[in-house]
Amino acid sequence: MNKFTPNFLAFIFTALFVGLGLSYYSLADGRFIGAYHIGSWATWANAGAPNPDPYTKAFVSLGTTLQLGRSEGVQFVAQRDEGGELLLRECNYSIIGNAPPASFWTLRALAPDGHSITPLNATQSMNSKRLSRSNNGVATINIGSKLSPQNWLEIEGEGYFEVNLTLYDASVLSGFGGTINTMPIIKNKGCS
Amino acid sequence: MIKTTLWIFGGILLGLIIHLTLILSLPQIVPNNVWSIFAKIGAPGELITIAKPKQQEANILRLDPELAYAVCRFDLSIGPGIINGKLPNDFWSVGVFDKNGVAIYSTTNRSGGGSSLDIGIFNPAQTRLLAEQKIELESGILIVKVPRDEVFIVIRLAVPHPAMWQRYKETLEKLHCSHVGQNQ
């Protein structure tokens, strides 16, 4: 009897730890199944599909995000820079490189709960149609509290944040065998 | 020791069963939050435009501030859903979602249709009636068959410049959304 109770407790603890832990871990950002990762960026590729896999379906049900249908576009989220460090509002970053083909795209800096962290009266987002580009057509977007040349998305506050890149009318991941070869890289330019 | 290992192994197996049960049952046991939000702000067949998300304030639906949004919720047990109207030539898209927030159908103005939006939403029984010509519709309407009665449709319209926001919002407000046979 004495041996049975610790073994039974270990059984229950292991079952709950594995069952709940695995569920949280897989739904938080789809590390196991569901999410498509490229560099710092991740997307739930099947979130807009008519028959998503069970993990994507559970992820969509849990959240309050208004998903994009597959033909409408696809949204990528980055929470880390190219070095794998979490994005911090106290730091300045450059997003360098072209986005995958799309009719247009937008880029936003958001707090983990989804609200914009740009100052009041500053621009809330970047739009591919309103960007300054270098001679080779590449646009560099600077994100941070420090005034920066070219395209500057000003942010304020402290703590972690994420960058959302939404491609509208994108051919990537649209069910026609499209793949993504490159995504812009996120470089840390220093912290205050 | 062997006995303890067997208990832990059994725990891992039960954990995997809990995990799979949780993942498969979540869409049924968790009421979709997006559906709940729209159910609170509009009746079936009523067009709602959503205010632009404000800086430093909660953006529950994680809306893109570069786009204007209109939503129409349908209960197809009342009758087939219809949404139509004119939209600008800038990018716009339409997504049809079920109660769980799963996209059933989506399209954009780049796929044809130009500036005209004319979509009918039908459940399987209504689609059969349509095939038997027992439901009368104007020609040229895009027919979308959905497996369930409760769906919502989202129209996204790209706003080329912040100064045009109000005008584009008014354009969305002029869209017509109703159930077939519903008093207009």
**Model confidence at B54: pLDDT above 80:** yes
Say whether both A71 and A114 belong to one domain. yes
**Model confidence at B183: pLDDT above 60:** no
Closest to B56 (Cβ–Cβ): which among A22, A58, A120? A120
Give contacts of B16 with chain A, Cβ < 8 Å. 18-19, 22
Q: What is the C-alpha to C-alpha distance for residues B137 and B141, in angstroms, rounded to an integer?
A: 8
Compare all CA atoms of chain B with the CA of A123 and give the residue at the minimum distance. B55
Q: A85-104 pLDDT, tens per residue?
A: 999 999 999 999 888 888 88
**Do B177 and B83 contact (CB within 8 A), yes or no?**
yes
SS (H, E, C) chain B: CHHHHHHHHHHHHHHHHHHHHHHHHHHHHCCCHHHHHHHHHCCCCCEEEECCCCCCCCCCCCCCCCEEEEEEEEECCCCCEEEEEECCCCCEEEEEEECCCCEEEEEEHHHCCCCEEEEEEECHHHHHHHHCCCCCCCCCCEEEECCCCEEEEEEEEECCCHHHHHHHHHHHHCCEEEECCCCC
Say whether both A11 and A39 belong to one domain. no
Give contacts of B65 with chain A, Cβ < 8 Å. 108, 116, 124-125
The whole domain housing A169 covers 34-191
> Which overall architecture, per CATH, does domain B33-179 show?
Sandwich (2.60)
**Model confidence at A175: pLDDT above 80:** no
The answer to whether the Cβ–Cβ distance between B65 and A67 falls below 8 Å is no
Considering its fold, how many domains does chain A have in total?
A: 2
Say whether both A25 and A65 belong to one domain. no
Say whether both A96 and A27 belong to one domain. no
Say whether both A8 and A73 belong to one domain. no
User: Average pLDDT for residues A127-149, to the nearest whole number?
Assistant: 87
Question: Using 50, 70 and 90 to split pLDDT, how confident is the model at A172?
Answer: low
Closest to A62 (Cβ–Cβ): which among B30, B105, B110? B30
Q: Please give the pLDDT value at position A105.
A: 92
**Do A179 and A172 contact (CB within 8 A), yes or no?**
yes
CA distance A32 to chain B (A): 13
Say whether both A11 and A89 belong to one domain. no
The rounded mean pLDDT for chain A is 86
Say whether both A24 and A108 belong to one domain. no
Give contacts of A108 with chain B, Cβ < 8 Å. 64-65
Question: Using 50, 70 and 90 to split pLDDT, how confident is the model at B59?
Answer: confident
Q: Please give the pLDDT value at position B122.
A: 93
Residue ranges per structural domain of chain B:
1-30, 33-179
Q: Please give the pLDDT value at position A176.
A: 46
Give contacts of A120 with chain B, Cβ < 8 Å. 55-56
The answer to whether the Cβ–Cβ distance between B26 and A113 falls below 8 Å is no
Say whether both A64 and A97 belong to one domain. yes
Q: Is B99 on the interface with A (CB under 8 A)?
A: no
> What is the pTM for the complete model shown?
0.86
Say whether both A7 and A50 belong to one domain. no
CA distance B24 to chain A (A): 6
Q: B3-46 pLDDT, tens per residue?
A: 889 999 999 999 999 999 999 998 888 766 788 888 888 889 99
Say whether both A8 and A44 belong to one domain. no
Q: A54-85 pLDDT, tens per residue?
A: 888 888 888 788 889 988 999 999 999 999 99
The answer to whether the Cβ–Cβ distance between B23 and A71 falls below 8 Å is no
CATH code where residue A93 lies: 2.60.120.600
Say whether both A22 and A99 belong to one domain. no
CA B52 to chain CA centroid, nearest Å: 18
CA distance A23 to chain B (A): 6
Say whether both A68 and A104 belong to one domain. yes
